[in-house]
Every structure is written in structure tokens, then in C-alpha cells.
Structure 1
């Protein structure tokens, strides 16, 4: 199969690139020529800016693909750009949407592909919904051979999946856990969440790519393993062989206490229950089953993080912010309690 990926160097797309090559497919990538060092040997490159439509049309001349997948589209106008570029030169166009597009809050805790798309909290999710609407309209009007994939929280062997972090990533939180310092968990940590290893996503993607039964369909790709955030953080602490010291804080308070915009990603996604039904995926890809339990996947991720100093990016601003939140709320609780002594 000849497949073209736009992007190819993110958490999800790197695993897809690697898997496609391992299975002997002909892989082409469009990017600006950066981060090529993270890709395995054997890929073919079209170097350039996909937003330069005329240059891209020239670069794509003579190509015909079994599948084109765009991992970079964030806004509806980019859908029209891709339609102009790829209509007529591919058997299938895959759009990577997001499970954040699903209804918030849910009317039913189990999420299927027919769950309504509605997220008033997050511009990112609203744009993904608009992109999906554009694509379905093109499919109905022109027959543009689209497939929509909706991944949820996907992680890899270098990035620890957490409910909140600062701008510099996961290491600051992992360091707090290792040092047995309090770690902020939004809400009370009991909402249900689904984490998917990128290698599992890639195997499922390979079964969707070039699959004629997937045309015109939206498909969830997630693990079937469901955990609470308390269980996720406890698993991380267990792998680090230290006790967990959670400190629970309202999502709205975290947002109000800035400088981080936590309202979008928390209320718009991560503190909402996310239990996915993957029946359609398993029907389209017979025999598929996510193979990497979180305990196994996070063990490798933590080993890589702890052994590689280049991955250990300090975030003193986020760290100090966490300490300030914890100290302030602890003092506030003590003050209120002293003002209202226990009455028997």
C-alpha cells in the first residue's frame, strides 16, 4: 500500500510511520523538513509547506495514493485545502479528529461513534467538529472518500500521560511524585478515563487505512482499559516505587488561579468520563485488540524518562504554582476550621 502522511512526527503519527514501514508499505511524508531524525529509515519525503497549494500540487503531480492521512488539520479551511490537493489522487482520505469532540457532559457514559458531537468548553474540539462537518458534506456531495478517526488520550514511550502539566511537559509532575511531594489531581480523581498506547493506535490505523468498508465512517480508536485518574497516578507512583500523595483541587479553581487555561482541557475533556465502545473498529479490523496495558506501557515510558537527562525538562514556574495552590488551600481550610470549632 502506498500511503501519504501529512505530519508524521507526533506522538500518534510517529508510531503510524514506524508500523507502516515495518509492515513493508510504501510510506510518503509531507513536512517542512524538520524532525526527520525521529523517523525510521525507508520513508520517502515531499519537503515543503502544505499551505502553499500551488507548490504542493506541483510536488504531488504523478502521484496516486491508496491512502492520505492528515495529522495536522485543526481548522475547517484546511479541509478545503486538502480537498483541493488530494481529490482524485487517493482512494481514501483519513482525517484525525479527536474524542474531545464528543458531548460534554455526556448523556450516556459509554461513548460510541453516534454519541453527539458537542463541546462548549474548548475551541480545539469545536474546530474538530467543524472539520468533520465539512468532510461529511464533501463525502455526500462529491464522493470524496473520507474516513474520520477519533483518538482519545494517546501516549508513547517518552511522554507520561497526566491530567494536568505546565507548559514544559510531564517531568515536573513525575519529579514531584518521585520526591513524595503532593501532586495536584483535578476534582476528586474518580472520573473514568481511557489511555491508549501509540503502538496500539498504529495497529488499528493500519487496519483502517486502505479499507473500503471504512469510507464515509467515523471510527473510535482507543484502548478498552478504563481507569480513574486516581488509579492512573497510583500506577505511576507504584512504578516509581513511592507512595502517592494526591492533593485534590476543583477544576474551575485551577483555571481561575491561572496562568494556565485549564478550563478548556479539563472541563472540555479530562475530568469528563470517557468510556469508549470500539465495536465498529473491531468490525472493520477483525481480531484487533489493544495489546499494551497501562501498567506495561507506563513502565517503559518512566524508564526512558528517568534514564535520559534530555527528557528531564524542569518547569520551576509550574512547580512553584503547584506549591502555592497547595499551601493556600491548606491554610484556607485550617482557617475556616478554626473559625467553626466542632460542636457536639
Structure 2
């Protein structure tokens, strides 16, 4: 089976590439060549910018793929461009959406693929919903939509209160004995999925007619509280976690940038019904837990000084949020 993966070097797509090769698929990846990862030798690489529609149409002129898998489309314009580029060039277009698109506030458990899509808090999720709505109108291409939920690898810091790109601050705060904010009372349940487990099921959607014009989420079945994940990281570091629970609405009042990541995602309990993907996948797994990789995460950051970035602005606001919340409790 001949497939094209757009991206191929991210948290999820790296594992998907490896699994596809293991399944004897003919894999080509298309990306800008910016991020370098170890790829199996059989993988072909096309260097290009998927956002350049004319260049892509030229590149695809004499190519045909059984499946095109899009990991880096985030807006309706992105998927509209893809449909134009790959029309007549593939039997199946797989769009990676997000389980964060499911209805917020959460109204029912467990979440299924029939759970309504609505997220008034986070533009990322709103854009993914708009992508899905457009793709459901496409009539001349087989579309498969996949919704991952907080999928991680052996390099991802699992923290609820961070600024994108500055996640290392969570480790540094733990090392320095500084308080760690957990929204709410710390008991909300969060589903996380290792990318290797995700890939084990995902590959069975590729080129599978039973997956055409349908939607699937693929998540693990390991559940954690944010308190547990924070304690897990602290234990691996050999330190004590000083957790402070602060109501989510107070956090957002102080740190408006957290509205999307919290109200739109991580402040809710999320539990999924994976029955649908289990009927398709021949090897659904949920084997790897964060406890299995947390030491790898720490070693990765300790060996990568350039990744140890901290936003002083964000940390000052973080500390101010704690200070004012504690002051309000005393008054």
C-alpha cells in the first residue's frame, strides 16, 4: 500500500510512520525538512511546503497514493487546499482532528464519536470543528476523520499549567520547590495516550474501506488525575511536589491565555468509549502509562539545554495568581 504522510516528524506521526513501515507499507513523508527525526531507511522524503498549493499540485502531478494522511492541517483553508491538491490523487484522505472538539462543558460520559462537537472556549478546537464540518461536505473523495486525545511520547512533560513552548518550567518549579497550580480540587480524571499505542490502532484505518467517510477517536484507557501526574514527575525527580488547588475561573481571571487550554480542554474529566476503533483495529492497545516514560522525559530535557526554556513573564503571572488567591483565602 502506497501512502503519503504530511508531517511525519511530530509526536504522533513519528510513531505512525514506524508502524506503517512495520506493516510493510510504502511510506513517503512530506514536510519542510525543519525537524529531524530518525526514520526507517525505507521511508521516502519529499521536501516541500504543503501550504504552497501550486507547488504541491506540481509535485503531485504524476503521483497517486492509496491514502494521504494529514497531520498538520489546522484550519478550514488548510483542508480545502488539500482537497484541491489531492483530488484524483488518492483513494482516501485521513484528517487528524482533536478530541478537544467534543462538547464543552462536558455533559455525558463516556464520550463517543456521536458526542456533539462544541467548544466555545478554545480557537484550536473551533478550527478543528470547522475542518470536520467542511470535510463532511466533500463528495468526490473518501474521508476519514481521526480524533486523538492528549497523545504523548517519551519527551512530553505532562503538566496542566504551562505556556506552549515553555513546558520545562514545570520541571524547574518542582526542582526549586515552588508551588504547582492544579485547577479545581485535583480530582478530575484525564485520559492520556502514548503515541505507540495510538499508532497500533491507527494503521488499520489506512486504506480500509470500512473507515471511509467515517469518524473515529483513538485514545488510551489509562486514567490519571493531574495531582497524580504531578506527583509522578516529582517522584522521578526525587523531590516533593507542593501542589496548590485553585478554582479554574480564578486562574483564567488572572491568566486569560489559559481559558482555551483549561475550560476548553484540561479542566474537565474526559473518559472515552473506544468500542468503534476496537472493531476496526486488530491490535488495539493501551499498554504504556506515563509512569513508564517519565524518567525518559526528564533525561531528554536534561540532555537538551536548548529545550530548557522558561518564560519569565508567564512565571511572574503564575506566582502572582498563587499570591492573590492565598491572600483572598486569608481575607
| TM-fit CA distance, 1:39 | 4.2
TM-score for both structures, normalised by structure 2: 0.93
Alignment partner of 1:275: what SS?
Answer: coil
Other-structure match for 1:21: 21
8 A Cα contact 2:254 2:317, kept in partner: no
| TM-fit CA distance, 1:37 | 4.7
Cα 1:254/1:134, change in 2 over 3 Å:
same
Query: Within the alignment, does 1:61 sit opposite 2:61 as a pair?
Result: yes
Other-structure match for 2:163: 166
| TM-fit CA distance, 1:44 | 1.5
| TM-fit CA distance, 1:94 | 0.4
| Structure 2 CA distance for aligned equivalents of residues 99 and 196 of structure 1 | 12
Other-structure match for 1:194: 191
| Structure 2 CA distance for aligned equivalents of residues 300 and 23 of structure 1 | 27
Cα 1:38/1:169, change in 2 over 3 Å:
farther
| TM-fit CA distance, 1:225 | 0.9
Other-structure match for 1:266: 262
Q: Which stretch shifts more, 223-232 or 34-43?
A: 34-43
- Equivalent pairs, count: 331
TM-score for both structures, normalised by structure 1: 0.90
Q: CA RMSD in A?
A: 1.9
| Structure 1 CA distance for aligned equivalents of residues 37 and 188 of structure 2 | 38
Alignment partner of 2:137: what SS?
Answer: helix
Larger radius of gyration: 1
Other-structure match for 2:174: 177
Other-structure match for 1:250: 247
| TM-fit CA distance, 1:40 | 4.6
Other-structure match for 1:125: 125
| TM-fit CA distance, 1:19 | 2.7
8 A Cα contact 1:185 1:246, kept in partner: yes
Structure 1: segments with no counterpart, 5+ residues: 337-344
8 A Cα contact 1:101 1:125, kept in partner: yes
Other-structure match for 2:89: 89
Cα 1:36/1:42, change in 2 over 3 Å:
farther
Other-structure match for 1:339: none
| Structure 1 CA distance for aligned equivalents of residues 85 and 147 of structure 2 | 23
Q: Which stretch shifts more, 189-198 or 6-15?
A: 6-15
Other-structure match for 1:333: 329
Query: Within the alignment, does 1:287 sit opposite 2:287 as a pair?
Result: no
Structure 2: segments with no counterpart, 5+ residues: none
Query: Within the alignment, does 1:221 sit opposite 2:230 as a pair?
Result: no
Other-structure match for 1:341: none
8 A Cα contact 1:187 1:248, kept in partner: yes
| Structure 1 CA distance for aligned equivalents of residues 10 and 311 of structure 2 | 22
Other-structure match for 1:145: 142
Cα 1:300/1:91, change in 2 over 3 Å:
same
